[in-house]
C-alpha cells in the first residue's frame, strides 16, 4: 500500500542554528514513538548536511526544496541534484508554486529537474495546483492535468512509481484558507484517475498524493481521513514542533 507522508517545507526560514535546533527537537520528539506516516523535513540547502547528521533517516527523513535543471558547471548559485544527494537527503520538492511564480519554473524545466533528481536517487515531491482565478473559472482539473502531463508523463511507469505528488491549491498556501475536505478529496480522486489512465491502477494506487495549503493541527485529521489524501506538505505549521507534531499524529 502507498505510504502516508507528512513533509515540512521550511521555505526560506531558519538560520543554520535555528534549523538544526528544530531538527533535533523533532527527532527527539519522534524517537521511539509509533507513527503511522513517513516524516520528512525539507530545509534550505545550507542546512542539509548538518540536518542529515541529526535525523535518523527512519522516523525523520530529510529533503531539499529545489535542485538545478543542469548536471553541473557554470550555473552560479545553483545546487545540483547530485549535490543534494551527497548530503544524505533523500527527497526534493520540485515545482512548488512559489518556484513556478517567482522563479519562472515551467513544466519543461521541471521535467529536467525530475529526471536529474531520479538519476540521483532522490524522490521528487512534485507540486501541482491551480491559482484562485483558475478555480473560480472551474479550470482546476485542466490546469492540474496539464502540470502532471507536461512535467511527469514522459516518465516510464517504473520511474513514475518513485514520484510523490503534492496537490497545493495556490489560493490556500500561506493564506489560512484551506481547501475543504471535500474539495481536496475531489481533486485527489481526479489526479488518481488521471494516473490510472496513463499508468494503470497498480501504479496509481501506489502513488502518495499529499495535500498542501494551510494544513494545521485543527484540520489535518479531517483532510487525511479522505481515501485519496495520503498526507500533507506543510509550510507554516512545520516551523515549530508543537504545531507540526499534531499533524504527524493525525494519522
Residue nearest ligand PEP (C-beta atom): 235
Compute the distance between CA of residue 147 and CA of residue 133 in angstroms, rounded to an integer: 16
Residues 6+ apart with CB under 8 A from 86: none
Residue closer to ligand PEP by CB (options 51, 237) is 237
Residue closer to ligand PEP by CB (options 124, 236) is 236
Q: Which of 54, 123, 235, 248 binds ligand PEP (CB under 6 A)?
A: 235
* Closest distance of CB 23 from ligand PEP, Å: 18
Annotated active-site residue in 105, 130, 134, 168:
168
Q: Which residue's C-alpha cell is 511564480?
A: 101
Q: Are 164 and 207 in contact (CB under 8 A)?
A: yes
The single-letter DSSP state of residue 176 is S
User: Alpha helices of the chain — where are they, by DSSP H?
Assistant: 16-30, 48-54, 81-86, 97-102, 107-119, 132-136, 140-152, 157-160, 181-199, 201-206, 220-224, 241-248
236 scored as a contact of ligand PEP (CB under 6 A) = yes
Q: Which of 83, 212, 220, 228 binds ligand PEP (CB under 6 A)?
A: 212
Annotated active-site residue in 47, 96, 98, 130:
96
112 has catalytic annotation: no
Number of residues that bind ligand PEP (CB under 6 A): 13
44 scored as a contact of ligand PEP (CB under 6 A) = no
130 has catalytic annotation: no
Residues 6+ apart with CB under 8 A from 202: none
Q: Which of 110, 148, 234, 241 binds ligand PEP (CB under 6 A)?
A: 234
Catalytic residues: 96, 168
- Residues at the interface with ligand PEP (CB under 6 A): 9, 168, 173-174, 212-215, 233-237
Amino acid at each position: 500500500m502507498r505510504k502516508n507522508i507528512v513533509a515540512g517545507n521550511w521555505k526560506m526560514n531558519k538560520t543554520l542554528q535555528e534549523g538544526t535546533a528544530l531538527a533535533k527537537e523533532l527527532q527527539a520528539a519522534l524517537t521511539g514513538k509509533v507513527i503511522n506516516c513517513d516524516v520528512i523535513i525539507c530545509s534550505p540547502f545550507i542546512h542539509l548536511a548538518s540536518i542529515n547528521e541529526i535525523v535518523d533517516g527512519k522516523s525523520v527523513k530529510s529533503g531539499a526544496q529545489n535542485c538545478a535543471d543542469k548536471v553541473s558547471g557554470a550555473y552560479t548559485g545553483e545546487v545540483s541534484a547530485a549535490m543534494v544527494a551527497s548530503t544524505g537527503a533523500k527527497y526534493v520538492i520540485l515545482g512548488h508554486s512559489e518556484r513556478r511564480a517567482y522563479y519562472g519554473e515551467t513544466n519543461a524545466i521541471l521535467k529536467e529537474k525530475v529526471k536529474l533528481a531520479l538519476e540521483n536517487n532522490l524522490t521528487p515531491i512534485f507540486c501541482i495546483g491551480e491559482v484562485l482565478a483558475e478555480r473560480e473559472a472551474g479550470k482546476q482539473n485542466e490546469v492540474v492535468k496539464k502540470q502532471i502531463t507536461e512535467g511527469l508523463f514522459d516518465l516510464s511507469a517504473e520511474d513514475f512509481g518513485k514520484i510523490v505528488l503534492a496537490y497545493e491549491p495556490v489560493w490556500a498556501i500561506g493564506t489560512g484558507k484551506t481547501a475543504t475536505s471535500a474539495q481536496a478529496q475531489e481533486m485527489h480522486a481526479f489526479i488518481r484517475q488521471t494516473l490510472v489512465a496513463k499508468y494503470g491502477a497498480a501504479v496509481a494506487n501506489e502513488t502518495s498524493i499529499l495535500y498542501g495549503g494551510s494544513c494545521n493541527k485543527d484540520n489535518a485529521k479531517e483532510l487525511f481521513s479522505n481515501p485519496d489524501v495520503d498526507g500533507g506538505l506543510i509550510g507554516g505549521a512545520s516551523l515549530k514542533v508543537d504545531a507540526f507534531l499534531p499533524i504527524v499524529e493525525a494519522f
